[in-house]
Amino acid sequence: MKRRTLLASGAAAAALGLTGLPALAQDAKTKVGFIFVGPVGDGGWTYQHNEGRLAVEQEFGDKVETMFVESVPEGPDAVRVMTDMALKGANLIFTTSFGYMDQTVEVAAKFPDVKFEHATGFKDAPNLATYSARFYEGRAVQGHIAGHMTKSNVIGYIGSFPIPEVIRGINSSYLAAKAVNPDVQFKIVWAYTWFDPAKEAEAANVLIEQGADVILQHTDSTAPQAAAQAKGDVITFGQASDMAEYAPNPRVSSIIDNWAPYYIDRTRAVMDGTWETHQVWEGIGDGMVKIGEISDAVPAEVKASAEALRDSIGAGETHPFTGPLNKQDGSAWLAEGETADDGTLQGMNFYVEGIEGDIPS
């Protein structure tokens, strides 16, 4: 769907409404719109949201119509795209990136009859729900494998933007890696982008040159995987999507964002008229975060312990942030046995003790 056609049809719909014609026979179809931050071909974050969209089509067949606009910049332009979608008759709109938060709030206020769902945000309204996944639970499993697998004890981390979501992932994987390998050291490079293969590849190369033999990424493209493959002897993890085309090596496992069941549930709720706003944050236990197949490049005992950790987090027996834990500056954060509350996690703006470097402001 090109933005141009969207605009044109949006304008046409508005014109029809103005002339007082009966609104284009409200056909029984439920229209579901998606705003994507990258191209659906990114092989990561947006790809996975699009899989969710396709699952909705598969589930409801003729009863739904989905539409999407890809590579929508985070910022004022998103308002225009969302408004177009609402004017085009969407009943439910998913805005799938943190940076759309204020724009979604703004547009939701203008269209009280349209339901909005914003991914990874924290502002809601009567017709605006938020949903997110506890990716940090998956990060802990990655950190566990990374801590076991590294020979140089240097783990490289490609960060996107210094926001709580990303910092949480760094902390979670660091703690899990440190638990199995006390000598482990994290090197963090901020790419300041969600999706820019050139920059991501560059960052991965630099980290490898500085001794990292494990690369963790919080950016969406497969470029770091390609860079690791070219260097050889470096392992990576799929981000957001399985990235199985790089298995079994360098990609040894992955965090998969499984949005499909949620999208199907919410679409059904709109159809039934039972949709209500909420703030959900689901993890491994709920099935929203999945750990991709751990490949044979990982020794069997490490694979077994990683899977045990995954299951224990899923069952709620283990929390990745369990005290005693200090913040980077040495001040106490969690006491012995205490686990982090969701409020602190959602606003996390500090490194835990042991990570070097400063969070850029």
Interacting residue ranges for other proteins, rule: CB under 8 A: 39, 41-43, 47, 71, 156, 187-190, 192, 195-199, 201-203, 205-207, 209-211, 221-223, 226, 245, 356-358, 360
Residue 226 or 298: which CB sits closer to other proteins? 226
Planar angle of CA 202, 203, 205, nearest 5 degrees = 65
Q: In whole angstroms, give the CA distance from residue 47 to residue 39.
A: 8
Please state, in angstroms and rounded to a whole number, the distance separating the CA atoms of residues 7 and 23. Answer: 18
How far apart (Å, rounded) are the C-alpha atoms in residues 158 and 207?
Answer: 9
| Beta carbon of residue 237, minimum distance to other proteins (angstroms, whole number) | 18
Strand partners, 33: 67, 93
Q: How far is the CB of 225 from other proteins (least distance, A)?
A: 10
Question: In angstroms, what is the minimal distance from the CB of 357 to other proteins?
Answer: 4
CB 54 to other proteins: min, Å: 16
Encoded tokens for 90: 């969407």
CB of 39 to other proteins, least distance (A): 5
**Which residue reads 């987090």 in tokens?**
313
Cβ atoms 158, 191 nearer than 8 A:
yes
Backbone angles phi, psi at 199, to 5 degrees: -65, -40
Using the minimum distance from each CB to other proteins, give the nearer residue, 249 or 322: 249
Q: How far apart are CA 250 and CA 234, in angstroms?
A: 6
Cβ atoms of 141 and 306 closer than 8 Å: yes
Report the candidate in 210, 253, 250, 246 with the shortest Cα–Cα distance to residue 233: 250
> Facing residues of 236 across strands?
215, 251
Give one word for 68, left, alpha or beta, with left for phi > 0 and alpha for psi -120 to 50: beta
User: Smaller CB distance to other proteins: residue 124 or 220?
Assistant: 220
SS3 at position 294: coil
Residue among 231 and 319 whose Cβ is closer to other proteins: 231
Q: Is 201 or 284 the residue whose CB approaches other proteins more closely?
A: 201
Q: Which is nearer to other proteins, 5 or 210 (CB)?
A: 210
Q: Which CB, 190 or 262, lies closer to other proteins? A: 190
Angle at 95 between CA 106 and CA 269, to 5 degrees: 100
Q: How far is the CB of 145 from other proteins (least distance, A)?
A: 21
173 and 216 Cβ atoms separated by less than 8 Å: yes
CB 47, min distance to other proteins, A: 7
Among 189, 252, 202, 200, residue whose Cα is nearest residue 222: 200
Give the nearest distance from C-beta 360 to other proteins in angstroms.
7
- Nearer residue to other proteins within complex by CB, 118 or 187: 187
